[in-house]
């Protein structure tokens, strides 16, 4: 899933000693159809600091955190899950495709949306081809482009990224992709299910984003495609450019498996060498 960078409206203040109970449908994003013991933990970099005015009690979103040790991590809980079929998963598998045009299929998409999707996939192919060639032709041990999103160079990481972008460009070049245009969730660009390759659900922020550049339509498709287990199997450890650059510094092993980091490396805007 790709979300926009958080604003003050997305922040939930939690004062010292206070408890906030929120229900989260974990099975909507993760495969929990098999019975067993599941380990669940919140483990994300702290993207922003929120200050509360002592007089007005108004919360203000400050700048990003740049320290390596910054982060938010909960205790690890283990739950015995019975394992049930996911209704949304089953609906996606059984939903009939409205129309196929070449390697792209569409569900609930207008003619304008189909045209935008075709252009976005073409740009996604261009972006990933450029990224693959960059990695294949240059050993980026000291390049700003590589270090910004993945931090220090190692041969293992470099080889892994070459495989990642080769797989991505192969999908855009040869696989049949299905796009669902019915998502109405505000604040979201798109989402996928890792075990349902090449099916992408496009949401409101996708349609309002630019075709190319940072957080673009093309980049969103790269982000979502990288989530599929058969392609790369990335996770959403961090969202947004600021959080991703911090992630590269604080947890480079997570950065190389972070979807937005792959997107920004491919979009490369502003251009880094």
Pick the catalytic residue from 5, 101, 142, 224: 224
Mean pLDDT of 198-224: 97
Cα-based angle 220, 147, 215 (whole degrees, multiple of 5): 20
Tens of pLDDT, residues 74-111: 788 888 887 766 655 554 454 444 343 458 999 999 99
Residue 215 has pLDDT above 60, yes or no: yes
Distance separating alpha carbons of residues 200 and 193, to the nearest angstrom: 8
Mean pLDDT of 125-145: 88
The residue among 190 and 69 whose pLDDT is bigger is 190
Residue 65 has pLDDT above 50, yes or no: no
- Determine what percent of the chain is predicted with pLDDT higher than 70: 75
- Sequence-distant contacts of 165-170: CB under 8 A, at least 24 apart: 165/128, 165/131, 165/132, 165/135, 165/262, 165/266, 166/132, 167/231, 167/232, 168/124, 168/128, 168/132, 168/222, 168/225, 168/226, 168/231, 168/232, 168/262, 168/266, 169/125, 169/128, 169/129, 169/132
Query: Strand 104-107 to strand 177-180: parallel, antiparallel, or no bridges (unpaired)?
Result: parallel
Mean pLDDT of the chain, nearest integer: 83
Domains of the chain with bracketed CATH: 2-84 (no CATH), 92-267 (3.40.390.10)
Q: Is 224 a catalytic residue?
A: yes
């Amino acid at each position: 899933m790709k979300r926009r960078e958080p604003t003050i409206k997305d922040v939930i203040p939690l004062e010292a000693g206070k408890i906030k109970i929120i229900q989260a449908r974990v099975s909507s994003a993760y495969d929990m159809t098999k019975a067993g013991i599941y380990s669940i933990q919140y483990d994300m970099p702290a993207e922003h600091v929120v200050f509360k005015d002592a007089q007005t009690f108004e919360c203000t979103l400050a700048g990003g955190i740049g320290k390596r040790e910054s982060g938010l991590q909960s205790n690890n809980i283990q739950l015995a899950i019975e394992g049930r079929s996911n209704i949304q998963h089953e609906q996606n598998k059984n939903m009939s495709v409205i129309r196929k045009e070449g390697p792209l299929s569409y569900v609930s998409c207008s003619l304008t949306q189909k045209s935008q999707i075709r252009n976005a996939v073409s740009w996604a192919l261009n972006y990933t081809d450029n990224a693959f060639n960059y990695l294949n032709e240059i050993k980026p041990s000291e390049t700003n482009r590589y270090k910004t999103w993945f931090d220090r160079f190692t041969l293992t990481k470099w080889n892994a990224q070459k495989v990642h972008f080769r797989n991505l460009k192969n999908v855009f070049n040869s696989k049949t992709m299905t796009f669902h245009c019915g998502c109405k969730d505000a604040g979201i660009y798109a989402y996928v299910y890792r075990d349902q390759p090449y099916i992408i659900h496009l949401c409101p922020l996708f349609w309002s984003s630019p075709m190319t550049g940072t957080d673009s339509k093309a980049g969103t498709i790269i982000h979502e495609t990288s989530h599929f287990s058969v392609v790369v199997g990335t996770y959403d450890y961090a969202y947004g450019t600021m959080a991703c650059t911090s992630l590269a510094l604080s947890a480079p092993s997570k950065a190389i498996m972070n979807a937005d980091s792959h997107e920004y490396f491919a979009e490369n805007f502003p251009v880094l060498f």
